[in-house]
Every structure is written in C-alpha cells, then in structure tokens.
C-alpha cells in the first residue's frame, strides 16, 4: 500500500494548511512561532518528515506528553516481569504508573513477577539529607522479601537528580553486597523533552549494565531472533511471538514485554533483531549491530497487509525452510482475515480516522485501518523524531495533516474541521471527543482490549473498531428535545 499515494476527497495541501493556520491563530505570537513548524500537510511522495519534532514542549498549551521517567519506568523497565522496579523518589510517579500501561506479565505477582509499585517514598528529610542511605536499606529489604527477583532497577524521579544523590555508586555497592544485578537509571522526569529521552537513557543503561552478562543455557540455532520493542500491551507479545514461532523462528528474548532480565542480557547471541517500536528501542539495535554484528529489521504486525509484507521480509533473511513456513502461514491465515474483512469492511469502508499516539502507532496502525477500508485523515506523535516522521510520510494519504506534539486545542480544532468517524488516541483525549459524539478507541492501551498485534490481534482490532464506529449508542447523543 505504501508505494501508491492515496488521496482523500476534499483534502488538499491548501485546505490542510488553512486548517492549521486557523488553529494557530489563537496562539500568542511566540507560541505560534514555536508551534507552526510542527504542523503541516503530509508530502506522501517525499518520503521525509513534513514537520519538525523532538523539541521542548511549549509551556501552557496542554501537551499530551509525559516525561523521561514515564519513558523509562513506564515503557522500558516496567514490562520486565522478573525485576523489582523501584521508583526512587516521592510516592506519586510510581503510583500514577502502577498497572496503567497494561504491559501484561506471566507468573505469580510478588513471587516470580513483580507487577507492583515499589518506591522509596521520599519525605522532606530525604530531600534535605539525601536518599542514598535509605536506598541501600531498601535494596536489602527488596532482596529479602522477593528472593526470586532476577534484578532490581532504581529509576530516578525528579528530586534525585536535583539533590545530587549518587544512585550509581549505591547500586554498584549493593549489587555486590546482595549478589544480584542492581541497575541504576537516571531518568529524572525533568530531563529531555518527552518520554523519548527516558527510552534512550534506559537503552544506554541496558548497554552498560545488562547486555552480555548472561548466556543462553541451550545451544544457539540459525533461527534465533529477538523481538525488540514489543511491550505486551493486552498480550501483543504473546500473539506476535506465536506467529514468529509459527514461521519457524526461536524468539530467544523479548525487549521488554513479559520480559526476563537474563534473556535480555543474553540477546547479544541472536541472529537477527526484529524491531516493532522503532522509536523506543532503535538505540540498542544499533548498539547490537555495531558491537555484535546482529542485523536488525523493522517490521509491522498490524493488519494482514502489513503482516504479509513483514513475514516475507523476515523470511527473506532466512533459508527456504523459513520462507516456506512463511508462505504456509500466510495461506493459512489470509482466508480468516478475509472473512473478518468481509464482515466488518462493509460497515467501515470510507470511514475517516484521526490518530495521535506515542512514537510508533500513528503510522504503524494505518495499514490495519486501511485493510478495513478506512482512511487516515490526520496523524501525529507525542514524542517522535524526524526519522519517525520520515517513515510516516508514505503511510499517510497526500496532504493530510501531520501534527507533532499537538496541544489539545489544536487536536480539537482539527477534529472539528475533519469530522472523523473515529479518533485513536489516549485516555486524556478519549472523553473529550466522546462528549462531542465522536467514537474513540484508546490506541495506547487498546481501550483495555487486545492484543492487536499479529493475526489474532487483527480479529480483535477489527471487532473493536466496528464496535466503536457503529455502536448504536452514538445515535442517542443528540437529544430529540
């Protein structure tokens, strides 16, 4: 699909730019100047970003962005199931991110998975006298109470970096004392522009503290791969992994959905890194390529079209046995997918969707919507960089609006203008648009449904999109009096 340039009736560069200007009109001078470069009509053919990105958030505009801690604890570390993740600082950050990202985990909570909220609960005295002593005590308590934990992460919240604590040395000392990997991550929320720096700091921390400290017990095989950048939202990893195994590959470790510390540590021995969320994990793919010669391949498991493309691209990196299995798998699932499309497409054909998600899905899910006959009339990221926007240009129809870190004001204005049949974004946006009678699906958390990755994911995705767009409840919104 991404080769042919699609057009949306009524949407031109001019109409989009006019819509953008109308939105920018409300800004004070300085704000408008900062925001303008981040909003633009898509140039499908160019294959490169039509907007600026990864810039400091403009104060006071109601951005959807989170912080570095959210990128570190929420995105990268949280999903690793067999580690105790300590939110180091006051009680809030860990509490707000407790279980809200839906990175599901196998195992028994508190025994061999630690889907819980650990914190040093900084009080005034910790700010004044520093938290390092408390950290050391805390690490001992964690080790004692959770003996099956394979490691402990110490994830810094804002105050830690401001009061000059040295969690790196505490981690080092305690790691030796307790004979367990203790990983310090300086992901203070005030650092950087968004969650993105949190991903980057975490990738570096894996590079410095984890990779190459373990080896797989079983002998390696030519089909060993690692699934990078899948966080098991609603079970996505379980769906993607079973599909990769069906085409004959051994998924030796997953970064980091339902992740296991030791398998992440032994990933330097795989043959190929398959990366789904480019934004959050491209750093370590590049490191593993440089240091261990592991090639990496971006792939897309949203919707039958993209799945087919990806399976074949993956197959091409392996021998005939894998490629045969790829074709068998495609042949097996395509009729099922076609049946799904036949059931839902008639009710979704030509419907318009607008997306605003984090760093991957604003482009990666467009294929799945198009498989159902829907058109993406606007998309944008909270924390993407230029390389993301480059990849987005061919995925979106010509001249449709691209918005980088849009304010709620801008997003509302665009929605009023474009009148989408569905908006895919986050919990902070959901009820704003549902009040307007616009159907909505959370595309961060799959609105507590999923998985959406892989073939069984598409079945659930299609059902949910049809449910949202065609629910009779929307017909009740307009009162008859």
Partner 1 sequence: MSNLLGLEVKKIVETTPEEVETVKNWINTEEYKEKNFARQALVINPAHACQPLGAQLVAHGFEGTLPFVHGSQGCASYYRSTLNRHFREPAPAVSDAMSEDGAVFGGQNNLHEGLENAVALYKPKMIAVFTSCMPEVIGDDLTAFIKNAKQKSVVPKELQIPYANTPSFNGTHIHGYDSMLVSILQTLTEGKQIEGRCTGKLNLIPGCDFNTGDYREYKRILKEFGVPYTILADIGDTFDSPCDGTYNIYAGGTKLDDAADSINGKATIAIGPYSTPKTFNWVKDNYSGKHVSMPMPMGIEKTDAFIMKVAELFGKEVPASLKNERGRAVDAVTDSHQYMHGKKFAVYGDPDYLTGYVSFLLEMGARPHHILCSRGSKKLEKELQALLDGSMYGKDCKIYMNKDLWHLRSLIMTDPVEAIIGDTHGKFAARDAGIPLFRFGFPVFDRVNKHRYPIIGYQGVVNMVTEICNKFIDIKDETCEDRYFEMMR
Q: Supply the minimum distance, in Å, between the C-beta of residue 241 and partner 1.
A: 13
Residue 172 within binding range of partner 1, rule CB under 8 A? yes
Binding mask 106-135 for partner 1 (x = CB under 8 A): xxxxxxx---xxxxxxxxx-xx------xx
Q: Provide the token pair at 192.
A: 């950087």
Q: Provide the token pair at 332.
A: 């097996």
Which stretches of 349-384 are DSSP H helices?
361-364, 366-371
* DSSP H or E run through 66: none
* DSSP H or E run through 229: strand 224-230
Minimum CB distance to partner 1 smaller for 335 or for 448: 448
State how far the Cα of 209 lies from the Cα of 264, in Å rounded to an integer: 11
- Pick the stretch among 7-15, 96-104, 220-228, 396-404 that binds partner 1 (CB under 8 A): 96-104
Considering only residues 163, 297, 313, 336, which one is a binding residue for partner 1 as defined by CB under 8 A? 163
Q: Which of residues 349-408 bind partner 1 (CB under 8 A)?
A: 407-408
Minimum CB distance to partner 1 smaller for 263 or for 306: 263
- Write the burial class of residue 435 (CB in 10 Å: 0-12 exposed, 13-18 middle, 19+ buried): exposed
Considering only residues 42, 156, 175, 456, which one is a binding residue for partner 1 as defined by CB under 8 A? 175
Q: Which of residues 217-246 bind partner 1 (CB under 8 A)?
A: 217, 235
Q: Which residue(s) pair with 136 in the sheet?
A: none
Considering only residues 1, 5, 91, 336, which one is a binding residue for partner 1 as defined by CB under 8 A? 91
Residue 17 within binding range of partner 1, rule CB under 8 A? no
**Which residues have a Cβ under 8 Å from the Cβ of 376 and sit 6 or more positions away?**
352, 353, 354, 355, 366, 369, 370, 395, 396, 397, 400
Q: Which of residues 180-219 bind partner 1 (CB under 8 A)?
A: 181, 189-195, 208-217
Closest CA to 301 of 277, 272, 325: 277
Of the residues 35, 38, 101, 102, which is catalytic? Answer: 101
Minimum CB distance to partner 1 smaller for 188 or for 388: 188
Q: Which residue(s) pair with 441 in the sheet?
A: 424
Residue 166 within binding range of partner 1, rule CB under 8 A? no
State how far the Cα of 293 lies from the Cα of 239, in Å rounded to an integer: 28
Largest CA distance in the chain: 72
Q: Supply the minimum distance, in Å, between the C-beta of residue 341 and partner 1.
A: 18
Q: Supply the minimum distance, in Å, between the C-beta of residue 379 and partner 1.
A: 20
Residue 449 within binding range of partner 1, rule CB under 8 A? yes
Q: Supply the minimum distance, in Å, between the C-beta of residue 159 and partner 1.
A: 5
Q: Supply the minimum distance, in Å, between the C-beta of residue 65 and partner 1.
A: 5
Q: How many CB atoms lie within 10 A of CB 161?
A: 18
State how far the Cα of 223 lies from the Cα of 246, in Å rounded to an integer: 12
Q: Which of residues 43-82 bind partner 1 (CB under 8 A)?
A: 56-70, 82
State how far the Cα of 384 lies from the Cα of 184, in Å rounded to an integer: 25
Q: Supply the minimum distance, in Å, between the C-beta of residue 87 and partner 1.
A: 9
- Write the burial class of residue 189 (CB in 10 Å: 0-12 exposed, 13-18 middle, 19+ buried): buried
Minimum CB distance to partner 1 smaller for 61 or for 297: 61
State how far the Cα of 311 lies from the Cα of 295, in Å rounded to an integer: 16
- Pick the stretch among 242-250, 314-322, 337-345, 462-470 that binds partner 1 (CB under 8 A): 462-470
Q: Which of residues 138-157 bind partner 1 (CB under 8 A)?
A: 138, 141-142, 144-145, 147-148, 157
Residues 192 and 383: beta-carbon distance below 8 Å: no
Q: Supply the minimum distance, in Å, between the C-beta of residue 432 and partner 1.
A: 5
**Which residues have a Cβ under 8 Å from the Cβ of 312 and sit 6 or more positions away?**
323, 326, 330
Q: Supply the minimum distance, in Å, between the C-beta of residue 368 and partner 1.
A: 18
Minimum CB distance to partner 1 smaller for 209 or for 299: 209
HSE-CB at 202 with a 13 A cutoff on CA atoms is 34
Of the residues 23, 49, 67, 149, which is catalytic? Answer: 67
384 catalytically annotated = no
Minimum CB distance to partner 1 smaller for 127 or for 336: 127
Of the residues 85, 102, 191, 199, which is catalytic? Answer: 199
199 catalytically annotated = yes
State how far the Cα of 207 lies from the Cα of 299, in Å rounded to an integer: 23
DSSP letter for 374, please: -
How long a stretch of residues is the chain?
481
State how far the Cα of 154 lies from the Cα of 89, in Å rounded to an integer: 10
* DSSP H or E run through 17: helix 13-24
Binding mask 269-298 for partner 1 (x = CB under 8 A): ----------------------x-------
Q: Tell me, by CB under 8 A, how many residues bind partner 1.
A: 131
Minimum CB distance to partner 1 smaller for 107 or for 373: 107
Q: Which of residues 298-337 bind partner 1 (CB under 8 A)?
A: none
Beta strands in 127-196 (DSSP E): 151-156, 182-185
Q: Supply the minimum distance, in Å, between the C-beta of residue 435 and partner 1.
A: 4
Give the residue carrying structure tokens 């966080």: 231
Binding mask 20-49 for partner 1 (x = CB under 8 A): ------xxx-xx------------------
Minimum CB distance to partner 1 smaller for 374 or for 468: 468
Minimum CB distance to partner 1 smaller for 235 or for 367: 235
Active site residues: 67, 70, 101, 199
């Amino acid at each position: 699909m991404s080769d042919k340039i699609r057009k949306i009736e009524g949407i031109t560069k001019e109409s989009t730019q006019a819509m953008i200007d109308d939105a920018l009109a409300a800004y004070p001078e300085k704000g408008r100047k900062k925001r303008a470069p981040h909003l633009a009509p898509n140039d499908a053919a160019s294959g490169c970003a039509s907007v600026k990105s990864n810039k400091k958030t403009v104060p006071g505009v109601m951005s959807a962005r989170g912080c570095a801690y959210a990128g570190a604890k929420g995105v990268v570390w949280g999903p690793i199931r067999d580690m105790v993740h300590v939110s180091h600082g006051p009680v809030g950050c860990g509490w707000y991110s407790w279980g809200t990202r839906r990175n599901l985990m196998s195992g028994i909570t508190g025994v061999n998975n630690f889907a819980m909220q650990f914190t040093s609960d900084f009080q005034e005295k910790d700010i004044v006298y520093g938290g390092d002593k408390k950290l050391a005590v805390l690490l001992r308590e964690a080790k004692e109470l959770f003996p099956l934990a394979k490691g402990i992460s110490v994830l810094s919240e804002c105050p830690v970096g401001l009061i000059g604590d040295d969690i790196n040395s505490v981690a080092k000392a305690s790691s030796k004392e307790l004979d367990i990997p203790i990983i310090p991550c300086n992901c203070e929320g005030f650092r950087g522009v968004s969650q993105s720096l949190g991903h980057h700091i975490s990738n570096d921390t894996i590079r410095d503290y984890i990779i190459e400290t373990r080896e797989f017990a079983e002998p390696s095989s030519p089909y060993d791969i690692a699934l990078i950048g899948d966080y098991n939202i609603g079970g996505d990893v379980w769906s993607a992994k079973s599909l990769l195994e069906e085409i004959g590959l051994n998924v030796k470790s997953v970064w980091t959905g339902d992740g296991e510390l030791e398998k992440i540590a032994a990933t330097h021995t795989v043959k190929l890194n398959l990366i789904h969320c480019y934004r959050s994990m491209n750093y370590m793919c590049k490191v593993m390529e440089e240091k261990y010669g592991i090639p990496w391949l971006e792939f897309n498991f949203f919707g039958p079209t993209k799945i087919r493309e990806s399976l074949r691209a993956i197959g091409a990196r392996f021998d005939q046995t894998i490629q045969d299995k790829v074709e068998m798998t495609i042949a097996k699932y395509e009729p099922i997918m076609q049946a799904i499309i036949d059931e839902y497409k008639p009710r979704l054909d030509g419907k318009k969707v607008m997306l605003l998600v984090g760093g991957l899905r604003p482009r990666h899910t467009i294929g799945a919507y198009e498989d159902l006959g829907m058109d993406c009339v606007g998309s944008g990221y909270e924390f993407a960089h230029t390389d993301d926007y480059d990849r987005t240009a061919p995925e979106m129809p010509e001249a449709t609006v691209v918005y980088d870190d849009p304010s709620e004001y801008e997003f509302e204005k665009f929605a009023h203008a474009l009148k989408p049949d569905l908006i895919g974004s986050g919990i902070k946006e959901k009820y704003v648009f549902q009040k307007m009678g616009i159907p909505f699906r959370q595309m961060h958390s799959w609105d507590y449904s999923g998985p959406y990755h892989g073939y069984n994911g598409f079945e659930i995705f299609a059902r949910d999109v049809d449910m949202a767009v065609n629910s009779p409840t929307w017909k009740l919104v307009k009162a008859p009096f």
